[in-house]
Amino acid sequence: MTVIDIPGSKSVTARALFLAAAADGTSTLLRPLASDDTEGFLEGLGTLGYEVERTAGAWRVTGRPAGPGAATADVYCRDGATTGRFLPALAAAGHGDFRFDASPQLRRRPLGPLTDALRTLGVDLRHEEAEGHHPLRIAASGIKGGALTLDAGQSSQFLTALLLLGPLTAEGLRITVTDLVSEPYVEITLAMMRSFGAEPTREGNVFTVPPTGYRATTYAIEPDASTASYFFAAAALTGREVTVPGLGTGALQGDLRFVDVLRRMGAHVDMTADRTTVRGTGRLTGLTVNMRDISDTMPTLAALAPFAEGPVRIEDVANTRVKECDRLDACAENLRRLGVTATTGPDRLEILPGTPGPAEIRTHGDHRMVMSFAVTGLRTPGITFDDPGCVRKTFPGFHEAFARFRDGA
């Protein structure tokens, strides 16, 4: 059995940084993820005037309930979607003039549903170039609050940003959601808000957030379930056994449900309160699976699919077309480069059994292309990547950790 220590969750770290920055007092975040995305978030907080003290395994954030300490700021969000969506909401609750820009990759990703909602709440906001995309400017003067309707069908991060904002408004928020993807990420948000003293509630598609503010706390970041998926898939493929401590039945992250997909394909899965173990059984069956709620693990399954005994059909993942790249087309493109038959539709990907051959994977700068097709490489010598270093976005040490698994260390 191989025990893999997975670094902290990117999603949880980003939410914890927002909550700590908004809280009254100094919060300590334990085992946060250190990666390009979270470094960008920290840099953005610093530019906005928040104080962060970093030590090994712990970050201390001094909160500012009244908003950013800087009166003006120009924030560069790098490639980080959470940075580019959460920090404008945080800044909008304060007072000052703030500009946000991002990498060409993040500039392409949608922002409009969030910025339209902020405008509905009275925020003075304008996009400098393409409407609904970075760069943008905010002339912040606090937010009264109120009711709004939101389409979160492209990204649950739009809803999360508004939920996180709610306790900082004068009167609270009432958000009616007309469409929602990746719903488990919203449940993470609600649970974490409560850990910092907020009192959000949900009734069906209506979310109510009172203006409670936040209280500082000590918060432990759990391992990243999306990152764990590559090692679980590797175990299922190779017939070996992998245990990830810190992720079990009590985990917040919905992407841990990926192990249920592996179980359906024939892997043995054992979960306790604080760890998950996957063991390959030497056989993988095909299946049809709806991955709407765990779409970040769609590329992991796509990379594993050629080794199944029957077709693998992944459905209801249209939102993966507006991630770091169009992941549906990118997965199909790379599978074809490996000699595997793959077809796509507007929201689906179907992969037929095959024997992948050596090829260079086109990553499109997307960390998940590299980490997913590293799984394929366990059974396919000669796979290389045009940009292997893009894993720094979420797991800078991925190649070393995966090599230790491959070598049986």
> What is the C-alpha to C-alpha distance for residues 165 and 306, in angstroms, rounded to an integer?
43
Cα dihedral: 36, 142, 59, 393 (round 10): -10
CA 301 from chain centre, in angstroms, equals 17
Taking a C-beta distance cutoff of 8 angstroms, is the pair 360, 384 a contact? Answer: yes
Could you tell me if 76 and 37 are in contact, meaning their C-beta atoms sit under 8 angstroms apart? Answer: no
Catalytic residue among 296, 329, 366, 387: 296
What is residue 113's three-state secondary structure? helix
25: left (phi over 0), alpha (psi -120 to 50) or beta: left
293 DSSP assignment: G
74 is known as an active-site residue? no
| Strand ordering across the sheet containing 201-203 | 146-152, 173-180, 206-209, 201-203
Paired tokens of 75: 């924030």
**171 Cβ neighbours under 8 A, 6+ residues apart:** 144, 145, 146, 211
DSSP 3-state of 72: strand
Tokens of 2: 């191989």
Dihedral (C-alpha) 92, 95, 99, 102: value to the nearest 10 degrees? -40
Look at residues 182, 193, 150, 154 and name the one whose alpha carbon lies nearest to residue 12.
Answer: 193
Query: Residue 389 has which token pair?
Result: 């270093």
Dihedral in degrees, nearest 10, Cα atoms 54, 4, 246, 217: 0
DSSP 164-231: HHGGGSSS-EEEEEEEESSHHHHHHHHHHHHHTT---EEETTEEEE-S---B--EEEPPB-HHHHHHH
Strands 146-152, 173-180: pairing kind: parallel
Round to whole Å and give the CA distance between 363 and 349: 18
Q: Give me the active site residues, please.
A: 296
